[in-house]
Structure 1
Amino acid sequence: MQASPWHRRAVLGAMVALGATPLRVLAAPFTAQADPFALGVASGDPSRDGFVLWTRLVGPDAHPVRAGSIPVRYEVAEDEGFRNIVRTGALNAHPEAAHSIHLELTGLRPGRPYHYRFHALGATSPVGRTATVPDRTNRLRLALTSCQHWELGWFGAYRDMLAGDPDLIVQVGDYIYETSYPDQPKVRDFGAPEPRDLDGYRARYALYRTDPDLQEAHRRVPWLVTWDDHEVLNDYAALANREGLPPEIFAARRAAAYQAYFEHMPIRPSLWRSMASPRLYRGVDWGELASLSMLDTRQFRSNPPCAAPSVARNVRLDHCAERLAPDRTMLGQAQEAWLAQRLSQERRPWTLLAQGVFFAPLALDGGGDAVYSDQWDGYVAGRSRLLDQLARPNVRNPLILSGDVHSFWLNDLHRADGTPPVATEIVTSALAAQSPPAGRFGEVRANNPHIRFHDLNHSGYVRIEIEPTRLVAQFRALNLKSARAKPKILQQVEQDIR
């Protein structure tokens, strides 16, 4: 699917600010009235020789700094006391990018921890901890998380995550929510209307980053992230949207939301600067143990099946033939080709794909003709092509990591010819959001024999540990209404290497 010219202009106009050359540095001293590092620090997109470091300078009450470009110094050390500093330097935080910093480092030693901090406006940031990817390892610990609504739950699950000492936190979308749900009980309030422009989205991310548990998880562990829909607007698909706005109108809102997302996430700037559309699909290979491909299932998908033009809503489809069309894609041609190339070169024992939405077929009736439009069931041909890639002989133990549906699932994934499963899907519940209403998915086990486990009543995340010969996944539930919730293991799954 090619972006139209006005679409490219809208995206480029928003993204160019993130890579803009500064027009000016502060000519006169500027003194912060509050902690400029109140949103904390973060790291992400690790590789064997580097990672991305992030922070954003803010004013009082996490409001934007009213200033030009501000000099920021950084230090990276092999120890928390900064006795052995291996990198130091300076760069500018620009107002065009909300005074955010994205420092992309390379040339470091593989497989070791590093500590980092920033200095600006007479203040020093908290000390962050991150790590490079090892060349060789016998273990990978992941925390899989999704769907965190500020108003509907506390983020205490991050404390349990950190207690498990993960190597990487994998966040598969709905990092923020744009929408308030007045019929749901709240633990706190957005304090602002739904964001629709750049200022609104920036403020929403800043609010989230004030949460101490979320902030601590970013400070201590590198993240790998992708978006789903609530980072922009619920259920949007490419430029189709639930309000039915013409593409040229919705493109401006989406571009603003995308810019705010990149400003607040520890994502490599080389992935999105000067590109016709921001790129989120990318890979992290964990030594010789596992490959991990992060996908973008929103930006490039075909229009929703059996829907009015420009309209995208997650609705029940009954006997919708359009969803079966052979040219339908969830990933877009370029991303499909990139992933096929990665999978063709797979040599590691474990192959992980992380992405935003429910992948397995999920029949809502006995005949399998009723499904939800927003999931891969609306893009059947794209799913079949991906399963064919996962069935390659060199892809030995594929696992798809998903979110979105506010519930836990463990699914076997079969090709259309009915052969034995070629992959497994693990779906994490919401970290903090409402559970699905009763009956939303019908008679799950009766209509879907490939589903091995599901839980529709708990929030939480999934802890995954991978070793050379086996994988262990724990579905961990926590009470999102309690700021000090204790975890409960709903299910533990062990899978030996094939």
Structure 2
Amino acid sequence: MIRDDPSRTLMGSRQEKWFYRNLSKSKERGASWRLIGNQIIFSRITEDWGDGEVLPGDNWNGYVANRKRTLEHLYDNNIGNNIFLAGDSHQNWVSDLIWLGNKEYDNTTGSGSIGVEFAGTAVSSGGVDGPIEPDAGTAARARVQSNPELMWQEGYYRGYFRLDVTPKKVSAQFYGSPSVASRNAWDIPLANFTVLSGENHLQRPVAGGHAESGALRYGKVTHTNLTLDTETGKWKNVGFDTMYLPNKP
């Protein structure tokens, strides 16, 4: 298939060489972390659309050889503490960064991972159609089941995540808005994740064993609707009937 063509590159030959060179330089100068931002999800994500699992091609799945070369450079040069940051998909994804089929990986402990990927959802654009349960929840559970490195997936809420970086750890706090159909100051904490320096994987239990929405591997999802008013700092159980603005005829 065209996605397996070794000549395919997402970055172009010149930028790809620059990327690998600077990954190595960052290790040589003793950088605590490598924060690698790109528009699309780097991790291999399979989808099951009812007729078997497939690899969507509008992300790094369409550039398998380029991804292989990137992972090969990280593993062969023992470059750890990698945090990949992505978006584009209008959904939330949190994964250990692994080289499936080439390096052993234990998703119960995270052993074998070379980093972590945090991919955020959209602020206002649509995500999974249908209600949070069963539609969005069913889709998230299927994705986590199909992808051993995928630790959390969530497609209902619009929102953002906050990344806190210190020499000892990286923390990501994901937030969702209960509605983008009206102006409001409400945020729902969805899940929190930690990566300790030198560990190269999400801290276990992932997200402390609990998330507000979606599907969490080896953890529990509980819909509490506990919401923070970011203007007043007060917490409240808030329910909104409409997530999105109604479509105009």
TM-score bracket for the superposition, by shorter chain length: 0.5 to 0.7
Per the alignment, residue 448 of structure 1 pairs with 147
Q: State the 1:390 CA deviation.
A: 2.5
Q: State the 1:464 CA deviation.
A: 0.5
Per the alignment, residue 354 of structure 1 pairs with 37
Q: State the 1:470 CA deviation.
A: 0.8
* 1:62-110 C-alpha deviation (Å, 9 max, x unpaired): xxxxxxxxxxxxxxxxxxxxxxxxxxxxxxxxxxxxxxxxxxxxxxxxx
- Judged with a 3 Å threshold, the aligned counterparts in structure 2 of structure 1 residues 328 and 395 are, in CA distance, closer, same or farther, namely same
Per the alignment, residue 468 of structure 1 pairs with 167
**Which of 343, 350, 355 matches 2:23?**
343
1:422 aligns with 2:114: yes
Is contact 2:95-2:116 (8 Å) kept? yes
Distance in 2, Cα, partners of 1:398 & 1:330: 19
Per the alignment, residue 402 of structure 1 pairs with 86
- Judged with a 3 Å threshold, the aligned counterparts in structure 2 of structure 1 residues 491 and 343 are, in CA distance, closer, same or farther, namely same
- Judged with a 3 Å threshold, the aligned counterparts in structure 2 of structure 1 residues 406 and 390 are, in CA distance, closer, same or farther, namely same
Distance in 2, Cα, partners of 1:326 & 1:474: 37
Distance in 2, Cα, partners of 1:381 & 1:441: 27
* 1:184-213 C-alpha deviation (Å, 9 max, x unpaired): xxxxxxxxxxxxxxxxxxxxxxxxxxxxxx
Is contact 1:409-1:427 (8 Å) kept? yes
SS in 1 for 2:79: coil
Aligned residue type for 1:345: K
SS in 2 for 1:345: helix
Aligned residue type for 1:417: N
1:435 aligns with 2:120: no
- Judged with a 3 Å threshold, the aligned counterparts in structure 2 of structure 1 residues 440 and 488 are, in CA distance, closer, same or farther, namely closer
Distance in 1, Cα, partners of 2:81 & 2:52: 27
Aligned-pair identity (%): 28
Per the alignment, residue 70 of structure 2 pairs with 386
Distance in 1, Cα, partners of 2:14 & 2:141: 36
Q: Which moved more, 1:365-374 or 1:375-384?
A: 365-374
Any runs of at least 4 consecutive aligned residues in structure 1 with deviations exceeding 3 A, and if so which? Answer: 365-369, 437-442
TM-score normalized with structure 1 length: 0.34
1:459 aligns with 2:158: yes
Aligned residue type for 1:451: L
Is contact 1:364-1:442 (8 Å) kept? no
**Which of 315, 330, 334 matches 2:10?**
330
- Judged with a 3 Å threshold, the aligned counterparts in structure 2 of structure 1 residues 476 and 383 are, in CA distance, closer, same or farther, namely same
SS in 1 for 2:22: helix
Q: State the 1:394 CA deviation.
A: 5.5
SS in 2 for 1:372: coil
Q: State the 1:329 CA deviation.
A: 1.1
SS in 1 for 2:89: coil
* 1:193-244 C-alpha deviation (Å, 9 max, x unpaired): xxxxxxxxxxxxxxxxxxxxxxxxxxxxxxxxxxxxxxxxxxxxxxxxxxxx
Per the alignment, residue 486 of structure 1 pairs with 186
- Judged with a 3 Å threshold, the aligned counterparts in structure 2 of structure 1 residues 477 and 497 are, in CA distance, closer, same or farther, namely same
Q: What is the count of residue pairs matched by the alignment?
A: 178
Per the alignment, residue 412 of structure 1 pairs with 96
**Structure exhibiting the larger radius of gyration computed from Cα positions:** 1
Please tell me the root mean square deviation across aligned C-alpha atoms, in Å.
2.2
Distance in 1, Cα, partners of 2:74 & 2:14: 18
Aligned residue type for 1:332: G
Q: Structure 1 unaligned runs (5+)?
A: 1-320
Aligned residue type for 1:458: Y
Distance in 1, Cα, partners of 2:183 & 2:73: 43
Distance in 2, Cα, partners of 1:426 & 1:470: 14
Is contact 1:390-1:423 (8 Å) kept? no
Q: Structure 2 unaligned runs (5+)?
A: 105-111, 130-134, 199-249
